[in-house]
Amino acid sequence: MSEQIIVKNPATGEVIKEIKKNTVAEINEAITIGEKAFKTWKEVNANEKSRLLRRWADLIIENIDELAEIITTENGKPLVEAKGELKSGVSYVEWYAEEAKRIYGRTVPANSGDKRILVSKQPIGLVAAITPWNFPGSMMLRKAAPALAAGCTFIVKPAVETPLTTIRLIELAHEAGFEKEVIQYVNGRGSVVGELFTSSKAIKKITFTGSTNVGKILMRDSASTVKSLTMELGGHAPVIVCDDADIDFAVEQTIITKFRNAGQTCVCANRLLVHESILDEFTEKLSEKVSALNMGNGLNQETEIGPVINKDSYEKIINQIDDAVSKGAEVTTNNQDKHSSENEAYFVAPTILKNVSLDMNIMYEETFGPVAPITSFNKLSEAIEIANDTPYGLASYFFTNDYRNAIYLHDNLDYGIVGWNDGAPTAAQAPFGGVKESGLGSEGGIEGIEPYLETKYLSIGNVE
């Protein structure tokens, strides 16, 4: 097996860099170092932790152009999106720099006057993170920031497709003043590093963003050491457009939620459910705008849609289109000659499908690509039934200007994140997390630091 990770530019197929895979001995050494460093890092006071996090955030912003170029080169997304990702990641670092100062305990009335009950929070210990290639910057930052703020030490394994962003961000963390032992990275294949992380007694928590299948492996393998887990897994987001919605606004927001990162986000719209009375108008307006999206190398200023990450992704997406068309779907975008898979660079032209039925794979399988199938509904209860017919429960969206529709949809959508007239709901101060097979726990908000803390209870007897 190769000792190197070869990082390629998905827009050109060119090799950007070769980096060394860490050996098992090196990874175990990093775990030992992180475990040892926890003993001193947990004692650092909240103001100092906060100051270091703020300094890190500042350095990321100072270096945003260089970092964005790294993201675009290894992931493929347009530069403007790469910068947006970094700003989003930095907002988590800033938020948790403040939360570091608000790790409160409480006192509770006891059953008798001579007793006292105190509840306190303590950092859980060494945390291991495994991150995906679709947001190489922000997925790492939103795990590292609450972990460090809580007083945990941190090791991350980035995706083999996109390790360079993580390496640079961690260099900046060290430059900001974090000891090298407090925040580390290791590089290697997921299955190898995953096994070392899950079986290690020194690692007290695993935080993972990636596919539901890999999440299940990590959950199973973590059972032997009863590790705390935060899992941000797959999604199959529905977008429901009601008959009273502002159609132009719904089209614009659907494009934001569907085509960001070439459709490769776990909160990307996967299915569009449109009221039958506005189906034709919505489909027409959306198809026209989507056909005009500019596809190309993300380093070019005018690019709106970059490549998909690799051949497997490309084939899966094209197969979903072919499957839908063979079962009666119709492509309404006029750019299908632009799909291309030459020189190990894989581009899928943004595609809208109509006449979609529930027997098509795209209505159930996560697409992770720039393709949107449209189906129609008559009653809202029908839309809810279709929307909830999936093992996933991460993000969902609806467009309506009628508060009664909104309350009904909010109450009945089995999803952890709901966007009402909003195609971009992610925010550092809000809890991002899925229900059902989309995950465990939340990232962001006051909820996002809890998984890095243990609750301890002290009962004092005989005080009087």
Contacts with ligand ADP, residue ranges (CB under 6 A): 130-133, 157, 159-160, 190-191, 194, 210-211, 214, 217-218
Contact 265, 133 (CB under 8 A): no
Say which amino acid occupies 254: T
CB of 52 to ligand ADP, least distance (A): 26
At 19 the three-state DSSP class reads strand
Handedness of CA 394, 98, 37, 33 (dihedral sign): positive
DSSP code at position 363 = G
Question: Which of residues 279 and 394 has its CB atom nearest to ligand ADP in the complex?
Answer: 394
How many angstroms separate the CA atoms of 124 and 454, rounded? 5
**Tokens at 333, concatenated:** 């975008």
Question: Which of residues 22 and 131 has its CB atom nearest to ligand ADP in the complex?
Answer: 131
Query: Which are the contacts of 262, defined by CB distance < 8 A and separation ≥ 6?
Result: 76, 77, 305, 306, 307, 308, 348, 369, 370
Residue nearest to ligand ADP (CB): 190
CB of 21 to ligand ADP, least distance (A): 11
**Tokens at 198, concatenated:** 């899950």
Question: Which of residues 146 and 190 has its CB atom nearest to ligand ADP in the complex?
Answer: 190
How many angstroms separate the CA atoms of 229 and 205, rounded? 6
Contact 418, 410 (CB under 8 A): yes
How many angstroms separate the CA atoms of 289 and 286, rounded? 5
CB of 176 to ligand ADP, least distance (A): 24
How many angstroms separate the CA atoms of 290 and 351, rounded? 7
Question: Which of residues 191 and 462 has its CB atom nearest to ligand ADP in the complex?
Answer: 191
**Tokens at 131, concatenated:** 């991150």
Question: Which of residues 95 and 154 has its CB atom nearest to ligand ADP in the complex?
Answer: 154
CB of 221 to ligand ADP, least distance (A): 8
Question: Which of residues 103 and 193 has its CB atom nearest to ligand ADP in the complex?
Answer: 193
Catalytic residue among 99, 232, 304, 366: 232
Strand locations in 378-452 (E): 395-399, 417-420, 439-440
CB of 182 to ligand ADP, least distance (A): 21
Question: Which of residues 194 and 439 has its CB atom nearest to ligand ADP in the complex?
Answer: 194
CB of 155 to ligand ADP, least distance (A): 13
CB of 206 to ligand ADP, least distance (A): 9
How many angstroms separate the CA atoms of 26 and 46, rounded? 31
Tell me, yes or no, if 232 is annotated catalytic.
yes
Question: Which of residues 200 and 405 has its CB atom nearest to ligand ADP in the complex?
Answer: 200
Question: Which of residues 161 and 304 has its CB atom nearest to ligand ADP in the complex?
Answer: 161
How many CB atoms within 10 Å of residue 3?
9
CB of 10 to ligand ADP, least distance (A): 13
- What are the φ/ψ torsions at residue 320 (nearest 5 degrees)? -65, -40
How many angstroms separate the CA atoms of 77 and 416, rounded? 26
CB of 284 to ligand ADP, least distance (A): 33
Contact 356, 382 (CB under 8 A): no
**If 0-12 CB within 10 Å is exposed, 13-18 middle and 19+ buried, where does residue 207 land?**
buried
Q: Which residues of 268-304 are buried (b: 16+ CB within 10 A; e: fewer)?
A: bbbbbbbbeebbeebbebbbebbbebebbbbbeeebb
**In what helix (H) or strand (E) does residue 171 lie, and over which residues does it extend?**
helix 163-176
How many angstroms separate the CA atoms of 203 and 31, rounded? 7
Active site residues: 232, 266
